Structure 1
Amino acid sequence: MIGLAINKDKSSFIVSNYVNHGRVNTIKRVCGFNCIALPIKYLGTPIFKGRKRNQIFEEIFTIFQKKIVNWNSNFLSFGGRLVLIKSVLNSIPIFIFHTLHPSEPICRRLERMINKFFWGYKNNSSCIYWAF
């Protein structure tokens, strides 16, 4: 055989809920693929059926939180924090935001996380958000 082979361990298929189990088992037997259910993640983007829910974006909040916690242990100037926000934090959600348009509460929550990091909010300490 010449060329690439299909990796059956990494391949799968999705069927509607209305397809009977006999047909699903036949597809499994013929193709050798597993049947999976939605939601799934494909190339970093969630694929789901139905309304867009806020849980889809929870992974972005987790990534943001991990990075911010690691950076808060360092003594960073405002300029250093601004560079990290512009170069790292703003690039994380770009792809998923192009494929799934986030709701306004999601954007506000991300903005609050970025603002708190920029202005030096740590462990329930008070912080003034200066405007410039």
Structure 2
Amino acid sequence: MECFSELVKMYIAKGEFDFHPKYKEIDLVNLRFANDLFILCGATEVSLKLIRRALRMFCDLSGLHMNSSKSFCYFVGVSQVEEKKLCEILRISASSLPVKYLGIPLTTRQLKASDCRMLVEKIKHKIKGWGSKHLSYAGRVVLINFVIFGVCNYWCQTVFLPISTIKEIENIVKAYL
């Protein structure tokens, strides 16, 4: 990924690359997490063509390829027509905010209950699959403590869950017990 950063820096030095407006002051172009990459730029045709060229050069140098089916563009303040045109440049589809990373919505604001629907649905799905006819009360408690609260703790390490979501999860767990 260092060569990608160097290529983008070269485009910046030439004045060909447009920063994302919120990150120009700190020269932020990309964020890396394990094997994931967030590329931040202004929503211009020139910038996206430069990114596509940098990704192609990175691919040629490293042999690593971007998985287009797992890659997305996120736009703010861009018309749908422009959004479609810009997505075609990178040959990846658009998605909507908030961005989900490892299953958790990333946002700068506190989550709403609607942002946590997938967590509640995931818990319901897990409990539905367990059934309760063949498990003792103690067995159900162990599953709840390790699986359900494990998933909740994973989310809580990153974001604050709304009280309404916590209460909904508690009600689901009580009904299962």
Q: Normalising by the residue count of structure 1, what TM-score does the alignment of the two structures yield?
A: 0.67
User: Does structure 1 residue 58 correspond to structure 2 residue 87?
Assistant: no
Deviation at 1:97, TM superposition (A): 2.0
One-letter amino acid of the counterpart of residue 142, structure 2: V
| 1:76 alignment partner in structure 2 | 135
Match of 1:98 among 157, 161, 176: 157
Distance verdict in 2 for CA 1:29–1:97, change over 3 Å:
same
Deviation at 1:43, TM superposition (A): 1.8
| 2:77 alignment partner in structure 1 | 17
Uncovered stretches (5+) of structure 1, i.e. residues with no partner: 119-132
| 1:5 alignment partner in structure 2 | 65
CA contact (8 A) 1:38 1:49 kept: no
Match of 2:147 among 88, 105, 122: 88
Deviation at 1:44, TM superposition (A): 0.6
One-letter amino acid of the counterpart of residue 120, structure 2: F
Distance verdict in 2 for CA 1:117–1:35, change over 3 Å:
closer
Deviation at 1:86, TM superposition (A): 1.4
Q: Residues 40-69 of structure 1, C-alpha deviation per residue, up to 9 Å, x if partnerless?
A: 423211245766321121222222222323
Structure whose residues are more often helix by fraction: 2
CA distance in 2 between counterparts of 1:59 and 1:23 reads: 26
Share of identical aligned residues, percent? 22
Uncovered stretches (5+) of structure 2, i.e. residues with no partner: 1-59
CA contact (8 A) 1:68 1:117 kept: yes
CA distance in 2 between counterparts of 1:51 and 1:14 reads: 20
Q: How many residues align?
A: 117
User: 2:135 aligns to what SS in structure 1?
Assistant: coil
Deviation at 1:18, TM superposition (A): 4.7
CA contact (8 A) 2:73 2:92 kept: yes
Distance verdict in 2 for CA 1:37–1:78, change over 3 Å:
closer
CA distance in 2 between counterparts of 1:66 and 1:24 reads: 35
Distance verdict in 2 for CA 1:47–1:117, change over 3 Å:
same
CA contact (8 A) 1:39 1:49 kept: no
User: 1:61 aligns to what SS in structure 2?
Assistant: helix
Distance verdict in 2 for CA 1:8–1:60, change over 3 Å:
closer
Alignment of 1:111-122 (within 5 A): 111-118=170-177
One-letter amino acid of the counterpart of residue 116, structure 2: F
